Structure 1
């Protein structure tokens, strides 16, 4: 691979790792609340985090269930390396087993977990229904599957901002939605009937509105900046020049119009959470 392509690849990977870490920091309180809501009678000892990224769910689950060990599964070596680093920093390395695997290919050896967690990962898979069936087959008797999905990409600016060109963020997302419609067809799916079809009984479902103002954590500004940088790179060819100019002004951290100088930022999104168990332990695994 030519050096310039390698450099770009490493830059893209580093930017994705940074974005996942910022997302985890900004949404930490909501993630903890989800783990507390799960309908669990006895604390699980064996947990699997499918599509773990850099560990947002893994570390929330370790904090919620202090006797548990988490098998963290992801296709990205870079994500797993970051997760291992954070596990060491937090002093929980002995409670984390990192497994690199393509969940659309050979199913990894995850043992017989008491809890399987999949947050913002299932919609990326080519065959999520097949994954659901594999999860059902892997769960220990009485085990729980927790599925968390974002209803859409987070928004950060008010609808009427910026003042000289309102709605630029929504127009960016409209472009992204058109691009993702073909490449990520399962984003925004109705997961409850798909869980039922895969042999689960849904025990709980809730929609969580996320609105985290910048005053709550300084991660909001950094998360917004990193997200909009990635969005700008993805939609540049399809946005009008006026919108690109506005984005560039927002992303100029040294300028007066920088997004980091705004006091009206917030993380705005919705998360859908479902908790399900195998419908019958007698069904074929």
Structure 2
């Protein structure tokens, strides 16, 4: 159930999702080279981890925070957040739930490397069909996962039913589109990233419509919590602000994201925008991403909490 780099409709690599989630529909992932993709997804997750560390610390410090003994990380990818949650909740068993065996293996290796191997375990599951495999939890972390379920309300109700008394569901849904370049970059027509976002929004709507049992739902997460018997416990957004000049690691991430969008959106982009992207991706071009001194990384992720009485 590891999904694409999107967070409903923008991009998210913290769990390592790149257009290949199995939440209710299964994309063909057999042609992906996990020896290449796995390390990249893990590195990207580490880059974004300050946002999620701050979110987990906020949750743990709330007056209504449950005693966390068991955590489910839904759509865990390579386990960056699973291990982060294990560190934030030192008394808890953390279960990384995904449908990609290669990434579950990376999770196990990461946990061992960080000295968390006795508390982080993995579970292969296809959701929503195999919700019953997950068992009870005090904290369910659904990071940009719910919008890949056709019937979001039904799945959220399923999660709610797995919560122990006082337990919390954490939905990471929404935020702001990521920005990495100035509006006017000196080549092509200004506003390239906004146009890429518009194409992604259309893709997102088509993806949602094609899901099995897809139902349109107003994205009022507090209202949805109430509808499934949970008490809304607050919403906060967390910022990732890496100013220019970027580190080599962050620059590599930005280059990979632009290359992915260049490939994915080629048919929807204008000839002018394609030419601009080709220049941005050219390592020898002084105006390209490899050499630009004004490259930055700015994003916001929004976290919504619902609690079982």
Same fold (TM over 0.5): yes
1:241-277 Cα shifts (integer Å, max 9, x gaps)? 2211111121123432331322222222221111111
Contact 2:152–2:217 (8 Å) recurs in 1: no
Match of 1:9 in 2: 31
1:207-241 Cα shifts (integer Å, max 9, x gaps)? 33443224575432122111111111111011122
Relative to the length of structure 1, the TM-score reads: 0.85
Match of 1:238 in 2: 268
Match of 1:85 in 2: 109
Larger displacement relative to structure 2 (89-98 or 252-261): 252-261
Contact 2:188–2:273 (8 Å) recurs in 1: no
Match of 2:22 in 1: none
Match of 1:147 in 2: 171
Alignment of 1:131 onto 2:161: no
Match of 1:54 in 2: 78
Match of 1:96 in 2: 120
Match of 2:15 in 1: none
Q: Which whole-Å CA distance do the structure 2 matches of 1:8 and 1:253 have between them?
A: 30
Q: Which runs of 5+ in 2 are unaligned?
A: 1-27, 210-215
SS at match of 1:140: strand
Q: Which whole-Å CA distance do the structure 2 matches of 1:73 and 1:7 have between them?
A: 17
Q: Which whole-Å CA distance do the structure 2 matches of 1:197 and 1:17 have between them?
A: 37
Match of 2:223 in 1: 193
Q: 1:153 to 1:85 in 2, by over 3 A?
A: farther
Match of 2:55 in 1: 34
1:190-209 Cα shifts (integer Å, max 9, x gaps)? 31111111111011112334
SS at match of 1:219: helix
Contact 1:25–1:219 (8 Å) recurs in 2: no
Match of 2:20 in 1: none
Q: 1:275 to 1:123 in 2, by over 3 A?
A: same
Q: Which whole-Å CA distance do the structure 1 matches of 2:70 and 2:154 have between them?
A: 22
1:94-149 Cα shifts (integer Å, max 9, x gaps)? 21111111112121433321111111111112222122111111111111111112
Match of 1:76 in 2: 100
Relative to the length of structure 2, the TM-score reads: 0.79
Q: Which runs of 5+ in 1 are unaligned?
A: 1-5, 281-285
Q: Which whole-Å CA distance do the structure 2 matches of 1:122 and 1:20 have between them?
A: 20
CA RMSD of aligned residues (A): 2.6
Match of 2:5 in 1: none
SS at match of 2:72: strand
Contact 2:183–2:191 (8 Å) recurs in 1: yes
Q: Which whole-Å CA distance do the structure 2 matches of 1:207 and 1:162 have between them?
A: 32
Contact 1:152–1:188 (8 Å) recurs in 2: no
Q: Which whole-Å CA distance do the structure 2 matches of 1:187 and 1:29 have between them?
A: 30
Larger displacement relative to structure 2 (125-134 or 19-28): 19-28
Contact 1:19–1:227 (8 Å) recurs in 2: no
Q: By percentage of residues, which structure has more helix?
A: 1
